[in-house]
């Protein structure tokens, strides 16, 4: 998608200068000689960025921004002000401008730098929006999400807390759909037209996570060649989802606590406090109370995050949802891969229900995707590749289990607990070995 810029300025020389510089950089540029002409162009077309002078004869830049907001124009703004009138630019930034330029211009690079930074933010928001749409297509319908007796209470809690601004902590094993529930809370809230921004806390190093959450100023650290907004600012007015919150370091915990308490923060390397209106939803697959007891998680932060707790059950605890979910995933992947609609043999259906699903819904989805790829017909048990224990007579099964347990213990001891090596020696898959270790309580 091309990047388009509208330049609004009554000075023909300034318009010409900016058009030349930005056109050389590949932007689509249009000009307007006045605020009213700029407003007319905004009515007639979509722009990623508007660069406007603040002082113009017929309509000020601030007025233009206000009128555009009334029209629900979706674009970024950079304002131009005289060197001695910076306070006007500050006012513009308070009502939504991303940055400002001072005239007379000293260097084309200053213009290039500001526009490139703002366009990066536009692109980032576009990606977030596309990811949100993709996730919406990937997950099952709402009725299926809450299928099963164990999810009745979860659904009631989601319906009760969604319209409120309350901070929510979603707990549960990996793969149970914590991010999906967070997205539902956002979609069912008054903030649904505003951004939903997700941060995977476990995937980033401490220094990167701080910059990702709070942003940074130009020159804050090596490589910080431009000011960058953090996820808190990007989520302003909407919802910020902090995935795997139990993984954040002690120093990030302190900074996050301050945001939750005071609703303000500084960018890395900055001194000016920034305030945002953000609803925070977090998730964890850890027992945060135990983490608090162990001294790894701040108690005061835990209580700030745990205002409204929601706990998701394992998939094996809602067995009545397994087959409907499997059928949903099979239909979805069959359509995606251009195959006919897939059913399941009786043996496959039995295996799906009997399996323990340690990876929960995420594992079920992956298993079905692979099975759809493997077959042109019905999905049979061998397409699923599940390690389901065979049915045996109780006496025979007891003898086999005792022998098997002893053998696994012996091999694990010989390889000093290395599960991968033990699985290779035993001639079984690592998944099977892990299942047996859990089954025998080793």
For residue range 161-188, list pLDDT tens digits in order.
999 999 999 999 999 999 999 999 998 9
pLDDT of residue 341: 77
- State the Cα–Cα distance between residues 265 and 261, nearest whole angstrom: 10
Separation between Cα atoms, residue 2 and residue 176, nearest integer Å:
39
Q: Does 397 or 257 have the greater pLDDT score?
A: 257
- Domain 394-440 annotated CATH 1.10.10.60: yes
pLDDT of 379 reads 93
In the chain, where are the structural domains located?
A: 4-121, 139-311, 315-384, 394-440
pLDDT of 135 higher than 70: no
What pLDDT does 393 receive? 43
Q: Can you tell me the mean pLDDT for 21-44?
A: 90
- The Cα–Cα gap between 169 and 150 comes to 18
- Pair 423, 412: CB distance under 8 Å: no
Q: Are 166 and 310 in contact (CB under 8 A)?
A: no
SS3 415: coil
- Round to whole Å and give the CA distance between 103 and 134: 43
Asked if 81 contacts 54 with a C-beta cutoff of 8 angstroms, the reply is: yes
Q: CA–CA distance from 442 to each of 313, 396, 403, 438 (Å)?
A: 24, 21, 14, 7
Percent of the chain with pLDDT over 90: 40
CA separation for the pair 115, 46 (Å, rounded): 17
Share of the chain above pLDDT 70, in %: 89
Pick the closest to residue 141 from 374, 325, 387 (CA basis).
325
Q: List pLDDT tens digits, range 35-70.
A: 999 999 988 778 889 999 988 988 888 899 888 888
Q: How confident is the model at residue 268 (pLDDT cuts 50, 70, 90)?
A: confident
315 within 8 A of 272, measured Cβ to Cβ: no
Enumerate the H helices of 222-321 as residue ranges. Answer: 231-234, 250-262, 288-293, 299-305
Q: Is the pLDDT of residue 408 over 90?
A: no
- Of 359, 37, 437, nearest to 176 by C-alpha is 359
Instruction: Tell me which of 3.40.50.2300, 3.90.1330.10, 3.90.180.10, 3.40.50.300 is the CATH number of domain 139-311.
Output: 3.40.50.300
- Answer for the pair 308, 154: CB distance below 8 angstroms, yes or no: no
| Residue 404 pLDDT > 80 | no
141 confidence band (pLDDT: 50, 70, 90):
low
State the Cα–Cα distance between residues 439 and 290, nearest whole angstrom. Answer: 25
What per-residue confidence (pLDDT) applies to 391?
45
Please give the DSSP secondary-structure letter assigned to residue 242. E
Could you say which architecture CATH assigns to the domain 315-384? Orthogonal Bundle (1.10)
What's the confidence (pLDDT) of residue 311? 95
- If 0-12 CB within 10 Å is exposed, 13-18 middle and 19+ buried, where does residue 294 land? exposed
pLDDT in tens, 419-441: 888 877 766 777 677 767 777 77
Q: For 64-103, what is each residue's pLDDT tens digit?
A: 988 888 887 888 899 998 766 777 777 788 777 888 888 8
Beta strand spans in 20-125 (E)? 28-32, 49-53, 76-82, 99-103
| 3-state class (DSSP) for residue 50 | strand
The more confident residue out of 131 and 4 is 4
pLDDT of residue 399: 47
> Residue 139's pLDDT is what?
54
Contacts 24+ apart (CB under 8 A), 293-297: 297/246, 297/253
DSSP secondary structure string for all residues of 320-357: GGHHHHHHHHHHHHHHHTT-PPP-B-HHHHHHHHHS--
The helix or strand, by DSSP H or E, that contains position 239, with its residue range, turns out to be: strand 239-243
Q: What digits encode the pLDDT tens for the residues 317-363? A: 998 899 999 998 998 888 888 888 788 999 999 999 999 999 999 99
**Distances in Å between the alpha carbon of 41 and those of 3, 29, 30, 352?**
16, 12, 9, 58
Q: Given a cut of 80, is residue 279 above it in pLDDT?
A: yes
Please compute Rg for the chain using Cα positions. Answer: 28
Q: Do domains 139-311 and 394-440 have the same CATH topology?
A: no
pLDDT in tens, 295-307: 999 999 999 999 9
DSSP single-letter state for residue 210:
H
**200, 208, 211, 213: which is closest to 247 by C-alpha?**
200
- Secondary-structure percent of the chain, ordered helix, strand, coil, rounded to 5: 55, 15, 35
401 has a pLDDT exceeding 60 = no
Residue 393, strand partner residues:
none
Residue 129, pLDDT score: 55
Superfamily of domain 4-121: Response regulator (3.40.50.2300)
Which of 423, 310, 316 has the alpha carbon at shortest distance from 359?
316
Predicted confidence at residue 243, as pLDDT, reads 93
Q: Where are the beta strands (DSSP E) in 15-135?
A: 28-32, 49-53, 76-82, 99-103
Looking at residue 337, its pLDDT comes to 86
Q: Are the CB atoms for 161 and 168 separated by under 8 Å? A: yes
The mean pLDDT value of the chain amounts to 84
Does 325 or 220 have the greater pLDDT score? Answer: 325
Q: Rounded to an integer, what distance in angstroms lies between the CA atom of residue 4 and that of residue 116?
A: 12
Q: What six digits make up the tokens of 13?
A: 């020389």
Cα angle 183, 186, 187 (rounded to 5 degrees) comes to 85
């Amino acid at each position: 998608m091309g990047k388009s810029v509208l330049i609004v300025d009554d000075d023909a020389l300034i318009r010409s200068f900016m058009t030349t510089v930005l056109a050389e950089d590949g932007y689509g540029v249009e000009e307007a000689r006045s605020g009213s002409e700029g407003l007319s162009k905004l009515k007639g077309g979509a722009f990623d960025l508007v660069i406007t002078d603040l002082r113009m004869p017929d309509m000020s830049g601030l007025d233009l921004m206000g009128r555009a907001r009334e029209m629900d124009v979706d674009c970024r703004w950079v304002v131009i002000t005289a060197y001695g009138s910076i306070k006007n630019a500050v006012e513009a930034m308070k009502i939504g401008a991303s940055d400002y330029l001072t005239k007379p211009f000293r260097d084309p690079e200053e213009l290039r730098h500001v526009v490139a930074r703002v366009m990066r933010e536009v692109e980032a928001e576009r990606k977030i929006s596309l990811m949100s749409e993709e996730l919406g297509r990937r997950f099952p319908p709402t009725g299926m999400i809450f299928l099963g007796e164990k999810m009745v209470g979860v659904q009631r809690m989601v319906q009760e807390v969604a319209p409120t601004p309350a901070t929510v902590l979603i707990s549960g094993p990996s793969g149970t759909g914590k991010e999906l529930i967070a997205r539902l809370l956002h979609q069912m809230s008054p903030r649904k037209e505003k951004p939903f921004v997700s941060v995977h806390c476990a995937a980033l190093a401490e220094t990167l996570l701080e910059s990702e959450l709070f942003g940074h100023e130009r020159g804050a650290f090596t490589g910080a060649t431009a000011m960058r907004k953090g996820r808190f600012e990007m989520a302003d007015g909407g919802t910020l989802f902090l995935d795997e919150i139990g993984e954040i370091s002690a120093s990030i915990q302190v900074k996050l606590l301050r945001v939750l308490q005071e609703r303000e923060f500084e960018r890395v390397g900055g001194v000016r406090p920034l305030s945002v209106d953000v609803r925070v939803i977090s998730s964890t697959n850890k027992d945060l109370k135990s983490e608090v007891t162990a001294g790894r998680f701040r108690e005061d932060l835990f209580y700030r995050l745990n205002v409204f707790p929601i706990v998701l059950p394992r998939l094996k605890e809602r067995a009545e949802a397994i087959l409907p979910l499997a059928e949903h995933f099979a239909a979805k992947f069959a359509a995606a891969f251009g195959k006919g609609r897939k059913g399941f043999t009786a043996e496959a259906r039995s295996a799906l229900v009997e399996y323990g699903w340690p990876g929960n819904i995420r594992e079920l989805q992956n298993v079905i995707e692979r099975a759809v790829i493997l077959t042109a017909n019905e999905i049979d048990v061998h397409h699923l590749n599940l390690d389901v224990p065979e049915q045996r007579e109780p006496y025979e099964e007891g003898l086999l289990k005792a022998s098997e347990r002893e053998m696994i213990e012996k091999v694990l001891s010989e390889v000093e607990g290395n599960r991968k090596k033990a699985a290779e020696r035993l001639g079984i898959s690592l998944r099977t070995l892990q299942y047996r270790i859990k089954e025998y309580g080793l």
